[in-house]
Amino acid sequence: MDEVTSRPFARQLESHERKFLHTLTGALLTEGRGVHDVLQHFARSLKSFVQSREFLEHRRLHGLLKEATQAALTAKNAVRPNEQIGFELMQSSGRIRSVAQWVLYDPAQRVTDSSMRIAEPSELDLETVSELVRQSEIDFRTLKAHLRTILERQSQVTIGQILTEFPAEQGLGSVVGYVALGAKHGEVTDGIELVTWEGDDATRRRAKVPTIYFMKERYLELVD
């Protein structure tokens, strides 16, 4: 560009024309980047279009339209445009509504009732609340106390032996609690132990659990 602008004809150019020639290379590079970005986007879109196999559906629809067009061209010589053929086609249409029909949403029209009613006094006492908590959560503190009581007089005990002396007050929850304690504080073996307990409905139940030994050597781990 310096060579071009140094030639005699350049002296007759206007200042804005000479400025355009000096910046032509940069303008071409800028536009070239834009073309490159468009081509890259087109290539990615084409790749995604092929990978999604949408082109197969487009090809199928194009084939159907072509068949319909050919059928229409064939029928145009045999059927007049105003001839009744006994077929009705429901035309689709959209509902036209004026923008003036829309109104702004007023939150004040849908205010929820935030007043607080005075609740009836509860008849629950602390014992009832404690019992509800015990029914909903495993009482690990009581289970640990039962384990400590037995381990104070013997070297080891299994879950089945514990349930023989201390019935499962929480039913299956107590059994699950002993298994959880055994996994953390006991010796889990590969054997299977059949344990039984009686629920609040006086029904005798049984289950197979891993044979777990609680050892006296780990007594302190069971202290809360």
Report the residue count for the chain: 224
- Residue bearing the bigger pLDDT, 13 or 145: 145
pLDDT band at 127; cut points 50, 70, 90: low
Query: What whole-number distance in Å separates Cα of residue 160 and Cα of residue 206?
Result: 10
CA 64 vs. chain centroid, Å, equals: 39
Asked if 162 and 182 touch (Cβ cutoff 8 Å), the reply is no
pLDDT, position 5: 74
Closest CA to 159 of 202, 198, 199, 188: 188
Overall average pLDDT of the 75-79 stretch? 81
Alpha helices in the chain (DSSP H): 2-5, 15-22, 24-51, 54-75, 126-136, 140-151, 159-165, 172-185
Domains defined for the chain, CATH in brackets: 1-78 (no CATH), 138-222 (1.10.10)
Query: What whole-number distance in Å separates Cα of residue 98 and Cα of residue 129?
Result: 61
pTM over 0.85: no
CA 147 vs. chain centroid, Å, equals: 43
What percent of the chain shows pLDDT beyond 70? 91
CA R_g for the chain? 43
Mean of pLDDT over the chain: 82
β-sheet bridge partners, residue 212: 188
* pLDDT(110) > 70: yes
Find where tokens 């350049």 sit.
10
pLDDT, position 130: 55
Give every strand in the sheet of 204-215, ordered side by side.
Answer: 156-157, 204-215, 187-198
pLDDT, position 123: 60
Burial (CB < 10 A; 0-12, 13-18, 19+), residue 93, is exposed
Query: What whole-number distance in Å separates Cα of residue 54 and Cα of residue 155?
Result: 73
Asked if 179 and 147 touch (Cβ cutoff 8 Å), the reply is no
